[in-house]
C-alpha cells in the first residue's frame, strides 16, 4: 500500500501503544492467572467476570500490537476509533459506579488515570486526522456490505441495551452480572459496532485483519473462559436457553471474525469481495 495513501502516525503514538500493551498484560492476567491478578484489581470481580474481562483484554492487546507494528492511518484509525469508544464508555460507567472502587488503594486511581489518558490520546489523534480520507481498500460487494450493516446493528443495539438497561439485558447471561459490569461489557459490543461500521464501504486489508482478529479472539476467549471457569466452580446450567443464546452470540462473533481474517488474506488485491 503506497505510503502517501497510508501515512504513518508520529512515533509518539507507537510509544503510547507500547505503554497500553504493558497495561493490558495485567488485564490479560485475569484470564491466564486470575488468582494472581484478582486481588490487585481495582474492584472485586467474580470468577466468570474475571475470565471474561481477561479474554477481552487479551484481544485488545493483540489489536494494540497491530497498531504498534504498523503505526499508520490503516489500521490506526480503526484501532483508535474502537479504543476511543471503549475507553469513553468504561470511564463513564466507572464514574457512575464509584462505589465499586476503593480509593484507599492505588489501583483505583490508576484505573481512572489509564482510561482517561487513553481516551484523551486516542481522541486527540482521531481529531488531528479527522479530514483524512480512509485508505483505499477492497470494495465490498452488496452482500458483504449488507452483512456489515446487520452486524453493526446487532452489536450496537445489544451494546446500547447493556448500557441503558443493564439489569434487563444482562439477565440473559449464564452468570449473574451486576449493572456496573453490564455497562463495562456494553463497551465491548459498541466498540465492535463502531469498528464494523467504519470498514463497511472500503475495507483496507490491515483494518479487516485487525477487526477480524479482535472478533475472533473475543468470541473464542469468551467461550473458552466460560468453560474453564465452570470446570472449577460448576455454576453454569449448560442446557438453559440463556446459556445457549449466549454461546450462540459469542460463537457468531468469533466465526464472523474468522471469516474476516480469511477474506482479508484471500481477497486483498481483488477489485471486490
Alpha helices in the chain (DSSP H): 11-32, 34-37, 47-70, 73-96, 106-128, 142-164, 166-170, 179-198, 205-233, 241-267
- C-alpha 185/C-alpha 162 separation (Å) is 7
Residue 4 has what pLDDT?
65
- C-alpha 53/C-alpha 88 separation (Å) is 17
Task: Fill in the DSSP letter of residue 240.
Answer: S
Residue 268 has what pLDDT?
54
CB 52 within 8 A of CB 222: yes
Residues of the chain with pLDDT under 50: 1-2, 269-273
120-135 pLDDT, tens digit per residue, is 999 999 999 988 888 8
Q: Residue 72: which region, alpha, beta or left (left: phi > 0; alpha: psi -120 to 50)? A: beta
Q: Tell me the three cell numbers of residue 127.
A: 481529531
What pTM does this model have?
0.94
- C-alpha 42/C-alpha 110 separation (Å) is 8
Residue 8: beta bridge partners? 72
Per domain, the residue ranges of the chain are 11-267
Residue 1 has what pLDDT?
43
Q: What size, in residues, is the chain?
A: 273
Cα separation values, 98 from 55, 76, 78, 108, 181, Å: 24, 32, 30, 10, 13
Residue 270 has what pLDDT?
44
Rg of the chain's alpha carbons, rounded to an integer? 18
Long-range contacts of 120-126 (CB under 8 A, 24+ apart): 121/13, 121/16, 122/80, 122/81, 122/83, 122/84, 122/87, 123/84, 123/88, 125/9, 125/13, 125/76, 125/80, 126/77, 126/80, 126/81, 126/84
166-212 pLDDT, tens digit per residue, is 999 999 999 999 999 999 999 999 999 999 999 987 788 899 999 99
Q: Residue 269: which region, alpha, beta or left (left: phi > 0; alpha: psi -120 to 50)? A: left
Residue 173 has what pLDDT?
98
Amino acid at each position: 500500500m503506497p505510503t502517501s495513501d497510508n501515512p504513518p502516525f508520529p512515533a509518539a503514538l507507537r510509544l503510547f501503544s507500547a505503554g497500553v500493551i504493558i497495561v493490558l498484560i495485567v488485564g490479560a492476567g485475569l484470564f491466564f492467572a486470575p488468582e494472581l491478578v484478582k486481588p490487585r484489581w481495582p474492584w472485586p470481580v467474580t470468577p466468570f467476570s474475571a475470565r471474561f474481562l481477561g479474554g477481552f483484554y487479551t484481544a485488545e492487546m493483540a489489536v494494540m500490537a497491530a497498531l504498534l507494528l504498523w503505526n499508520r492511518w490503516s489500521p490506526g484509525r480503526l484501532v483508535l476509533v474502537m479504543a476511543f469508544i471503549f475507553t469513553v464508555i468504561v470511564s463513564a460507567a466507572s464514574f457512575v459506579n464509584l462505589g465499586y472502587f476503593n480509593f484507599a488503594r492505588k489501583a483505583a486511581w490508576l484505573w481512572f488515570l489509564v482510561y482517561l489518558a487513553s481516551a484523551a490520546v486516542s481522541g486527540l489523534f482521531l481529531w488531528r486526522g479527522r479530514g483524512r480520507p480512509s485508505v483505499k481498500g477492497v470494495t465490498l460487494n452488496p452482500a458483504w456490505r449488507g452483512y456489515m450493516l446487520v452486524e453493526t446493528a446487532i452489536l450496537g443495539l445489544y451494546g446500547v441495551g447493556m448500557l441503558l438497561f443493564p439489569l434487563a439485558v444482562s439477565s440473559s447471561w449464564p452468570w449473574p452480572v451486576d449493572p456496573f459490569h453490564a455497562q463495562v461489557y456494553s463497551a465491548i459490543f459498541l466498540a465492535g459496532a463502531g469498528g464494523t461500521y467504519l470498514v463497511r464501504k472500503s475495507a483496507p486489508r490491515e483494518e479487516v485483519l485487525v477487526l477480524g482478529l479482535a472478533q475472533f479472539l473475543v468470541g473464542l476467549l469468551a467461550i473458552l473462559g466460560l468453560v474453564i471457569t465452570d470446570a472449577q466452580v460448576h455454576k453454569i446450567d449448560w442446557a438453559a436457553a440463556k446459556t445457549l443464546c449466549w454461546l450462540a452470540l459469542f460463537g457468531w462473533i468469533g466465526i464472523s471474525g474468522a471469516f474476516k481474517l480469511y477474506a482479508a488474506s484471500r481477497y486483498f488485491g481483488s477489485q471486490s469481495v
